[in-house]
Structure 1
Amino acid sequence: MKKLVLALVTAAAVVAAALIPSGAPVEAASKGFGSAVSAVKQTAWQTNSSVNALAIAGNTVYAGGLFTRIRPPGAAKGQRESVRTYVAAFNKTTGAPTTFAPKLNGAVYSIATSPDGKWVVLGGDFTTVNGVKRSKVALFSVATGQLAASWDPVVAARVKTLAVYGNSVFIGGAFTKIDGQVRNRVGAVTLSTGALLKWNPNADDDVYAIATSDNGTRVFIGGPFTTINSRDHYSVAMVNSTTGAALAFPAAAGIPEPTWNCTTRVKAIDTLGNRVFIGNGGDGPGCYDGIIAADATTGKMLWQSNCLGANEALKAIDGWLYKGSHAHDCSQDGSFGDGTGTHFLLVQSVANGKIGPWFPNTDADQNSTTKVGPLAFAGDSTGLWAGGDFLHVAGKPQQGLTRFSSAPGGAYPAVPKAPGLTAGRAKVTIKFTDVYDLDNITLTYNVFRGNTRIGSYKYNSYYWDKRKSYTVTDTGVKSGQTVGYRIEVTDDRNTVKSSTATVKVQ
């Protein structure tokens, strides 16, 4: 029998590898996908308008926004709807709605849950809850779903963001007073009684995002402001969680200062361990739309990405930073360029910011007030929930709300085409084209002659890439034989096969 010789044309592979940014490993784990969650959307209920905020307490997911109705998966708008006035709750495991259904008279823009999972705080435009006066904020028991009777801070205008740590509820928005006392766009009350705290960073413009460090010593504030406590701190600030004093945050220098034709604002903040992630969005030519990762104690920059397309939501899970944005050009980071579409959902490595293996997508409702797609995330090691103004997920109707799981499975690679074959004298040249997988970058391509595997190769590919071709020469054949070849592609759990192509060896 002739010795089998394989000659692989590698030039295309070298070029492809050069286009893949270095970073965290992208090989699929045995669960079938490369990041913390799969790109396959799970069954989820829908809303009749935008979801602005999400938060998790135990096995309950809270959603707030502009919606007034929810409906089952697959139901068209107006069909089989249940009343939920601006807030709803869902079972985190099954996705089914709970009986939590307070009646609010205005939209919800923010939700936060206490670290012990016992309390949920809503913030927004409302002034009554179940007919009881509540001025822009309200506290509920997670266990009973009941409104906390004596917790009643009075916030003068819209609450856009909330965070809870210990006995402190940090509040940001468009207001200038809490309980009649001056609190310019940011303040805090106690979780136990709602009493106003002295904490007063004093922002000169709206606050869009608040998050606390994992150890509770720092509070990160984002928005279009230019000063905190009358000192220059534009777009983002790190302040002491007890005194409200602004602390040095050198990473902020990565966000260009606003100009007459560029309004810049931090819209999303999340923390993981001793890292804080800052998502920016700008209005105007050349405005910064990137993400900054910084040390949550020193404020030192760890990495920065520069994609174009404002960030609306961030959630860090198990070494990956999920982002909801309208990213359309990440060529500055060595990834996709303009003209590849809008990538509303992406993941980046917590370690270095490189684009990772997670490529589901949504759209954005152009008749909504925001028109940006995903607006809010909530998640943990079991999965990720996303809310926004979208009407479709993965090209199928799904309004306002979707979710992704960490359970093993994942997306299948696209089915490869049958290989192209060229017969020679006692040899066959096999040419095949790569495919993509929506939650893996590295795929294994096995080349089969009949039931004999004649080669196995790993290649990187993104779905927005132009498809690349590879060539293998098989000399383990005899003249006059008719042989068939197929390509099998696997992500280590899911395998797809091409049809078989045949040729007669010369």
Structure 2
Amino acid sequence: MKKLVLVVVTAAAVVAAALIPSGPPVQAASKGFGSAVSAVKQTTWQTNASVTALAVAGNTVYAGGLFTRIRPPGAAKGVQESVRTYVAAFNKTTGAPTTFAPKLNGAVRGIATSPDGKWVVLGGDFTTVNGVKRSKIAKFSVATGQLVAGWDPVVSARVKSIDIYGNSVFFGGAFTKVDSRVSNRLAAVKLTDGTLLPWNPNADDDVYAVRASGNGTRVFVGGPFETINGKDHYSLAMVNSTNGTALAMPAASLIPKPTWGCTTRVKVIETQGNKVFAGNGGDGAGCYDGIIAADATTGKALWQSNCLGANEALKAIDGWLYKGSHAHDCSQDGSFGDGTGTHFLLVQSIANGKIGPWFPNTDADPNSTTQVGPLAFAGDSTGLWAGGDFLKVAGKGQQGLTRFSSAPGGAVPAVPKAPALTAGAAKVTLKFTDVYDVDNITLTYSVYRGTTKIGSYKYNSYYWDKRKTYTVTDTGVKSGQTVGYRIDVTDDRNTVKSSTASVKVH
């Protein structure tokens, strides 16, 4: 007898599926996860306070922040600690610390490595390095770990963000002078010898983010400023990388101007190829916390997301934009709403901004000076590093620093419950509940009668969704038979199986 299998989805499941964006963000990959990296955290050392800056050079990851100690994974605070005053370096492959341990007398707020991987530049609040005067900015050799003698621009106040392109080191912060020249919150020096360059965009308030375009012709800057070179450029500006002239950037008009009840500012900027991404954080209920994607040459907007929850970190890897934020309401983008918790780590499609398949999470240390969770990202096609003020990752102790890999494997879907069975006349009706996978949105559910697969179905699910129920009717049975059914779930690499439920056919 030819079998007939019918599938029915509950009304709630139909509504939920309609909200899920189509296209690449929901496609599971054969490597076991759908985005560029897995949501499974890798073994990494920890810090005793916030990590506020990260950068990669070759197989070394540099971390800067407010910490003064590091410790092994799994160790409690105060146990097996090693001294690292505001900066440390780690092996990118193993997560273990290197011997790089300069002594700074103040926090590190920004880090950049040169494109050739030979140099690392730190910025922050410090005034000495290894007892040598260094005013808010310092350069080190990646090969030797030594402070570069003679490279010593004198910056009058905090350096918050740094980027390097070619022989230019661009930086922004709270300063008003560099080497006695008036340089309001933005400046550039030569990477080779630290000589001050004429680039001087003159922001009227602090700069939080500085990022050069992929071709080096533009520099994007963000912060709470209202003007660049005396002209209106609220919070986000695109400037010429040679003379500092502000260029027209239509996408910046999407950022709302301050009102009595709401102020928002760009907190982080990322670039990839000819695209630039600016993430905001707002003060006030419902105040703009979105991300704008724009063309890095024309400044025209490509897409905008409007999740609520300030953005703190962005990193583009392959076709994905990873973000660290306190996202709590993305209903404006057709995703989760308030009441589902804070989603500190998310990924969005670079093509359209839709939330993609990557759902690890952290917390935020309520006793830290920042209290926001993730604060900095760095990485490449091999993986993503995240730093911040968190105490836990995936519900387990891991302070200040964590990492995620692109190596195949990834998270395993949750184990489904055995199906509920109802026997009829020469038929069996099964009901089974979906599960979720923190690495994928789309999962394949296969229904087995004994060793016979009677059907496979692809469904979308997010862990914050109310679990959905699906119904399958199997008519390929005979009256009097006792048959057993189970549900297999796969993400295209990892497969889990429910226990078997049995019933006698009428």
Taking structure 2 as the reference length, what is the TM-score of the superposition? 0.99
Alignment-mate amino acid for residue 3 of structure 1: K
Deviation per CA, 1:407-428: give whole Å up to 9, x if none.
0001000110110000001110
Measure, in 1, the Cα distance between the counterparts of 2:7 and 2:173. Answer: 60
**Deviation for aligned residue 1:150:** 0.6
Instruction: Calculate the aligned-residue CA RMSD, in Å.
Output: 0.8
5 Å-filtered alignment, 1:350-499, equals: 350-499=350-499
Asked if structure 2 preserves the Cα contact closer than 8 Å seen for 1:23 and 1:352, the reply is no
Deviation per CA, 1:447-477: give whole Å up to 9, x if none.
0011111000000111101110110001111
Asked if structure 1 preserves the Cα contact closer than 8 Å seen for 2:32 and 2:492, the reply is yes
Partner of 1:178: 178
Q: Matched residue of 1:9: which SS? A: strand
Measure, in 1, the Cα distance between the counterparts of 2:90 and 2:471. Answer: 51
Measure, in 2, the Cα distance between the counterparts of 1:27 and 1:154. Answer: 50
Work out whether 1:7 is the aligned partner of 2:6: yes
Q: Matched residue of 1:67: which SS? A: coil
Asked if structure 1 preserves the Cα contact closer than 8 Å seen for 2:275 and 2:293, the reply is yes
Asked if structure 1 preserves the Cα contact closer than 8 Å seen for 2:64 and 2:110, the reply is yes
Alignment-mate amino acid for residue 465 of structure 1: D
Measure, in 1, the Cα distance between the counterparts of 2:422 and 2:348. Answer: 41
**Deviation for aligned residue 1:358:** 0.2
Q: How many residues align?
A: 505
Measure, in 2, the Cα distance between the counterparts of 1:62 and 1:70. Answer: 13
Asked if structure 2 preserves the Cα contact closer than 8 Å seen for 1:23 and 1:349, the reply is no
Distance 1:268 1:23, change over 3 A: farther
Partner of 1:163: 163
Asked if structure 2 preserves the Cα contact closer than 8 Å seen for 1:238 and 1:246, the reply is yes
Task: Give the fraction of aligned pairs with identical amino acids, expressed as a percent.
Answer: 84
Deviation per CA, 1:128-174: give whole Å up to 9, x if none.
00000000000000011000001000000011000000111111000
Deviates more, 1:257-266 or 1:54-63: 257-266
Q: Which runs of 5+ in 1 are unaligned?
A: none
Asked if structure 2 preserves the Cα contact closer than 8 Å seen for 1:279 and 1:314, the reply is yes
In the TM superposition, structure 1's runs of 4+ consecutive aligned residues that sit over 3 Å from their partners are 10-14
Deviates more, 1:256-265 or 1:408-417: 256-265
Work out whether 1:118 is the aligned partner of 2:118: yes
Partner of 2:505: 505
Asked if structure 2 preserves the Cα contact closer than 8 Å seen for 1:188 and 1:199, the reply is yes
5 Å-filtered alignment, 1:26-45, equals: 26-45=26-45
Asked if structure 1 preserves the Cα contact closer than 8 Å seen for 2:421 and 2:502, the reply is yes
Measure, in 1, the Cα distance between the counterparts of 2:347 and 2:78. Answer: 33
Asked if structure 2 preserves the Cα contact closer than 8 Å seen for 1:106 and 1:126, the reply is yes
Partner of 2:152: 152
Deviation per CA, 1:253-282: give whole Å up to 9, x if none.
111011233222111100111000000001
Deviation per CA, 1:364-413: give whole Å up to 9, x if none.
00000110000000010000000000000000000000000000001000
Asked if structure 2 preserves the Cα contact closer than 8 Å seen for 1:32 and 1:491, the reply is yes
Q: Which runs of 5+ in 2 are unaligned?
A: none
**Deviation for aligned residue 1:25:** 4.5
Work out whether 1:143 is the aligned partner of 2:143: yes
Alignment-mate amino acid for residue 330 of structure 1: C
Alignment-mate amino acid for residue 7 of structure 1: L
Alignment-mate amino acid for residue 91 of structure 2: N
Work out whether 1:331 is the aligned partner of 2:370: no
Q: Matched residue of 2:24: which SS? A: coil
Measure, in 2, the Cα distance between the counterparts of 1:212 and 1:167. Answer: 12
Alignment-mate amino acid for residue 82 of structure 1: S
Alignment-mate amino acid for residue 303 of structure 2: W
5 Å-filtered alignment, 1:52-451, equals: 52-451=52-451
Measure, in 2, the Cα distance between the counterparts of 1:321 and 1:122. Answer: 25
Alignment-mate amino acid for residue 354 of structure 1: K
Measure, in 2, the Cα distance between the counterparts of 1:165 and 1:8. Answer: 56
Asked if structure 1 preserves the Cα contact closer than 8 Å seen for 2:10 and 2:468, the reply is no
Asked if structure 1 preserves the Cα contact closer than 8 Å seen for 2:25 and 2:354, the reply is no
Asked if structure 1 preserves the Cα contact closer than 8 Å seen for 2:267 and 2:312, the reply is yes
Asked if structure 2 preserves the Cα contact closer than 8 Å seen for 1:239 and 1:245, the reply is yes
Measure, in 1, the Cα distance between the counterparts of 2:261 and 2:232. Answer: 19
**Deviation for aligned residue 1:285:** 2.7
**Deviation for aligned residue 1:23:** 3.8
Alignment-mate amino acid for residue 405 of structure 2: S
Measure, in 1, the Cα distance between the counterparts of 2:426 and 2:261. Answer: 68
Asked if structure 2 preserves the Cα contact closer than 8 Å seen for 1:42 and 1:404, the reply is yes
Q: Matched residue of 1:251: which SS? A: helix
Measure, in 2, the Cα distance between the counterparts of 1:125 and 1:266. Answer: 21
Alignment-mate amino acid for residue 135 of structure 2: S
Measure, in 2, the Cα distance between the counterparts of 1:291 and 1:88. Answer: 30
Work out whether 1:21 is the aligned partner of 2:21: yes
Taking structure 1 as the reference length, what is the TM-score of the superposition? 0.99
Q: Matched residue of 2:261: which SS? A: coil
**Deviation for aligned residue 1:26:** 2.0
Deviation per CA, 1:83-133: give whole Å up to 9, x if none.
000000001011110000000000000000011111000000000000000
Measure, in 2, the Cα distance between the counterparts of 1:24 and 1:476. Answer: 36
Alignment-mate amino acid for residue 60 of structure 1: T
**Deviation for aligned residue 1:11:** 5.4
Asked if structure 1 preserves the Cα contact closer than 8 Å seen for 2:51 and 2:65, the reply is yes
Measure, in 1, the Cα distance between the counterparts of 2:498 and 2:374. Answer: 35
Distance 1:25 1:176, change over 3 A: closer
